[in-house]
Structure 1
Amino acid sequence: MTGVQALEHKYPDKLPLPGQCAKMEFEYIRHGTTSLIGFFDVATGRMEMPYLNSTRTEEDFVEAVKALAGTDPQAPWTFICDGLNTHKSEALVRYVAEACALGVELGKKGKTGILKSMESRADFLHDPSHRIRFVYTPKHSSWMNQIEIWFGIINRKLLKRKSCLSIEELEASILRFIEQYNLTAHPFKWTYAGIPLVI
């Protein structure tokens, strides 16, 4: 999940001249923000069911998860997320309990049971016996989540130099980019040599 600003460059870019680089205007007019909730399929390299909205609340995240899980309601789903509070919310616990037909007492948020704290909700959502489960990357380890690589790609290839006059134009550009990206998508060859750091 990431927020994206619709920025219009105040002046047009200057084209490169012989021996000089192109120059991009750094001043901009802000036309608002949109939130992109994306689901990156590590097996195919595709971005599935992108969800764009003006907010990024726990309800938005649950709606996006519902939409994706609804494409195959009996399949097992594993979502890899960071520790953001919306990824461990009361609404998400209630959805997983209902979708997996668990029939367990959830308790009361901030008081008792599964809903008592963010940690208890995360433990419930992480349970491998659930058909829909969430795996959380450790703190300061966003690099372990491959969607962060994908967010870097869209930033470099589309957003970095993009000038938008509206949020609608920005959202249409993002959806076109995802559609085009998915045509040639492939899994990332994500490796690390394992060379220890020398201190």
Structure 2
Amino acid sequence: MIGLPSMLVAAACPIVLTAAERHQLKKAAYGHKTAHQTRMRAQVVLHAARGRSNARIAHETRLHLDTVRTWRGRFAAGGLPALADRKRSGRPARFTPVQVAEAKALACQLPAETGVPLSRWSCPELAKELTARGITDSVSTSTVRRWLRQDALKPWQYRSWIFIRDPDFRAKAQRVLDLYHRTCDGEALGADEYVVSNDEKTSIQARCRCHPTLAPGVARAMRVNHEYSRGGALAYLAAYDVHQAKVFGRCEPATGIEPFMNLVAQVMTTEPYASARRVFWVVDNGSSHRGKRAIDRLTKAFPNAVMVHTPVHASWTNQIEIFFSIVQRKVVQPNDFTDLAEVRDRLRRFEDRYNATAQPFQWKFTTSDLDDLLARLDRHTFADRQEESSIALAA
């Protein structure tokens, strides 16, 4: 009986690695963040470089024999770049570039301008509107989100802003910013000159919860009862030494000229401010310290005190606002006080706690940044005026 001839098996491709290739393959084969496919392909090549057969490599890596043969052959033919996936044609695009552009253009319009009774676009609403307008037959929310992500479009977000109305905005802002950097009128401040930022935090309520607040536990956040009874409200006035990082605060029934002067007296009658050459008081344009009369009132009471006003609607230039944000997060919220006496006590004790470890705020906004900001606003204003002129001419 004559036996059938045995099938010929192609010999495995010999693999010889350079030192650089071996280093990269080991890094890929044993890296913790390497993708699984890349790791297995690198291991196949490393085993092959040791002279092992395809069958043994398949057994040790638990890959199919054809898979081992494929990647061994690709590396032998093209080296490390051949281990990457080849480009694939993929599924034909379902949406045309024009449809994608129209979707992005719609996202860049206010819904009210297009007749849609919405304040902001969301991805589901955009998907519905695209279908309703016949731009697309149907489109999923995830597809719309992917389109918007390409140009970092987020029409569901918004930021509020206020236009500069103070004609002396730059001069006032520059003086405040210079004081933060220990200069005044181009000269450095002396060791006996101080900068104090001041403002009022109004209407801090004492809300007595109808049920006690529950402390946090394992996998459970602190719980605060929604119902409460009102225990009144007070105003918290604070002065912050910008360079010494020291806070002086007091609680008053309401804001006004007298409470403000009480705070000034609290600071100016203590050292080193009482004997200082100059103490600059940075204030906003609130009713209790607005205008020339407030400047004269302060100077008459304390001759070494100098009032410096921030520009109108520019509270962000007042560093005390940073401290008030800390108070809001760490002391007031969630509001759970039995009465106003507890509010006063907690604010006073927090001042002591804060002053014990406080460091000056790292204020980085300079006059150069201010000039850049104003230049950008001027460009926007000029562009808006040109657009308004074009619309008027077209009409």
So what's the TM-score if we normalise by structure 1? 0.73
Residue of structure 2 in register with 1:80 after alignment: 282
Secondary structure of 1:188's partner? coil
Q: Which of 162, 187, 191 is 2:360 aligned to?
A: 187
Shift of 1:40: 0.5
Question: Residues 133 and 181 from structure 1, CA distance in 2 versus in 1: closer, same or farther, beyond 3 angstroms?
Answer: same
Structure 2: tracts of 5 or more residues without a match = 1-199, 381-395
Answer yes or no: is the 8 Å Cα contact 2:244–2:360 preserved in 1. yes
Q: Compare CA radii of gyration and give the structure with the larger one.
A: 2
Question: Residues 96 and 28 from structure 1, CA distance in 2 versus in 1: closer, same or farther, beyond 3 angstroms?
Answer: same
Residue of structure 2 in register with 1:33 after alignment: 233
Residue of structure 2 in register with 1:63 after alignment: 262
Secondary structure of 2:254's partner? coil
Question: Residues 82 and 26 from structure 1, CA distance in 2 versus in 1: closer, same or farther, beyond 3 angstroms?
Answer: farther
Matched, 1:159 2:359: no
1:60-85 deviation line (CA, Å, top 9, x unaligned): 11121122112233321111111001
Task: Measure the CA separation in 2 of the matches of 1:190 and 1:155.
Answer: 20
- Per residue, is there more strand in 1 or in 2? 1
Residue of structure 2 in register with 1:9 after alignment: 209
What RMSD in Å do the two structures reach over aligned CA positions? Answer: 2.6
Task: Measure the CA separation in 2 of the matches of 1:143 and 1:178.
Answer: 22
Secondary structure of 2:207's partner? strand
Task: Measure the CA separation in 1 of the matches of 2:268 and 2:209.
Answer: 39
Question: Residues 91 and 18 from structure 1, CA distance in 2 versus in 1: closer, same or farther, beyond 3 angstroms?
Answer: closer
Question: Residues 158 and 28 from structure 1, CA distance in 2 versus in 1: closer, same or farther, beyond 3 angstroms?
Answer: same
Task: Measure the CA separation in 1 of the matches of 2:343 and 2:211.
Answer: 18
Structure 1: tracts of 5 or more residues without a match = 101-130
Answer yes or no: is the 8 Å Cα contact 1:81–1:135 preserved in 2. yes
Answer yes or no: is the 8 Å Cα contact 2:205–2:335 preserved in 1. no
Shift of 1:95: 4.4
1:70-115 deviation line (CA, Å, top 9, x unaligned): 2233321111111001013757633422432xxxxxxxxxxxxxxx
Answer yes or no: is the 8 Å Cα contact 2:280–2:306 preserved in 1. yes
Answer yes or no: is the 8 Å Cα contact 1:58–1:92 preserved in 2. no
Shift of 1:34: 1.6
Residue of structure 2 in register with 1:97 after alignment: 300
Question: Residues 184 and 16 from structure 1, CA distance in 2 versus in 1: closer, same or farther, beyond 3 angstroms?
Answer: closer
Answer yes or no: is the 8 Å Cα contact 1:31–1:165 preserved in 2. yes
Q: Which amino acid aligns with 2:300?
A: A
- Per residue, is there more helix in 1 or in 2? 2
Matched residues, number = 168
Task: Measure the CA separation in 2 of the matches of 1:99 and 1:40.
Answer: 18
Q: Which amino acid aligns with 1:31?
A: G
So what's the TM-score if we normalise by structure 2? 0.39
1:166-199 deviation line (CA, Å, top 9, x unaligned): 1111100110111111111110112249486696
Secondary structure of 1:56's partner? coil
